[in-house]
């Protein structure tokens, strides 16, 4: 699917993964894709900025709606309860192998092989991105098409944030359609 994405759209997806990791989320949701589009700082971000959607305020909304993921284990807090994390880790590793307690074993940010999985809604938004681009006759799928896919998905955090700012699918589609026709 991503082979049809423009460099900017691919960059938005990579930046979405970075956003998910930075927020300590173990998934890439529609909210991360929206943040990725805004961080890519290309035509998709300009389209959103033109309708009043800015990176900082969207990130604030994401944190307010979802929160940040949990920090790693606080060994000092465990010590106050009489739990020696190093002793527990040693016993578990003897029984189950090296790194058995680590969520990051062989991975990044609690993810398998450094890959953060997409949520079903994010997958649907990516599928709808392809459909939007095809229906508009685009040769490549740009970040603007990704915005359309996020809006068309309709139920994810990104759609909720965009809807709250008065961003409508039809209005965005008209703007993208004009560019695709050019």
User: pTM of the prediction?
Assistant: 0.74
Query: What confidence score (pLDDT) does residue 115 get?
Result: 67
Q: Which residues pair with 141 in a beta bridge?
A: 5
Which of 39-43, 67-71, 84-88, 89-93 tops mean pLDDT? 39-43
Q: Which of 114, 113, 126, 125 is nearest to 1 (CA)?
A: 126
What tokens does 133 get? 């681009």
Least confident of 69-73, 93-97, 144-148, 175-179: 69-73
For the chain, how far is it from start to end, CA to CA, in angstroms?
24
| Greater pLDDT, 111 or 20 | 20
Query: What confidence score (pLDDT) does residue 113 get?
Result: 46
pLDDT in tens, 10-58: 888 888 888 888 888 888 889 999 999 998 988 888 889 888 898 889 8
Q: How many whole angstroms separate alpha carbon 36 and alpha carbon 19? A: 7
DSSP string, 87-131: HHHHHHHHHH-TTTT-TTTTSSTT-BTTBPPBPHHHHHHHHHHHH
Residue 95 pLDDT more than 80?
Answer: no
Query: What confidence score (pLDDT) does residue 75 get?
Result: 63
pLDDT in tens, 13-23: 888 888 888 88
Residue 90 pLDDT more than 80?
Answer: no
Residue 153 pLDDT more than 90?
Answer: yes
Q: How many whole angstroms separate alpha carbon 2 and alpha carbon 22? A: 23
């Amino acid at each position: 699917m991503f082979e049809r994405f423009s460099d900017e759209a691919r960059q938005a997806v990579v930046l979405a993964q970075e956003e998910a990791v930075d927020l300590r989320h173990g998934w890439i949701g529609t909210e991360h894709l929206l943040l990725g589009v805004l961080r890519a700082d290309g035509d998709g971000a300009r389209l959103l900025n033109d309708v009043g959607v800015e990176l900082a305020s969207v990130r604030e909304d994401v944190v307010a709606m979802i929160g940040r993921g949990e920090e790693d284990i606080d060994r000092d807090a465990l010590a106050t309860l009489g739990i020696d994390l190093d002793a527990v880790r040693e016993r578990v590793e003897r029984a189950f192998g090296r790194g058995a307690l680590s969520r990051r074993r062989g991975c990044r940010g609690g993810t398998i092989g450094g890959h953060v999985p997409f949520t079903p809604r994010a997958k649907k938004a990516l599928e709808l991105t392809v459909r939007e681009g095809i229906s508009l006759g685009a040769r490549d799928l740009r970040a603007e098409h990704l915005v359309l896919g996020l809006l068309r998905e309709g139920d994810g955090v990104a759609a909720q944030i965009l809807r709250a700012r008065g961003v409508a699918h039809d209005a965005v589609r008209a703007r993208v359609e004009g560019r695709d026709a050019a």
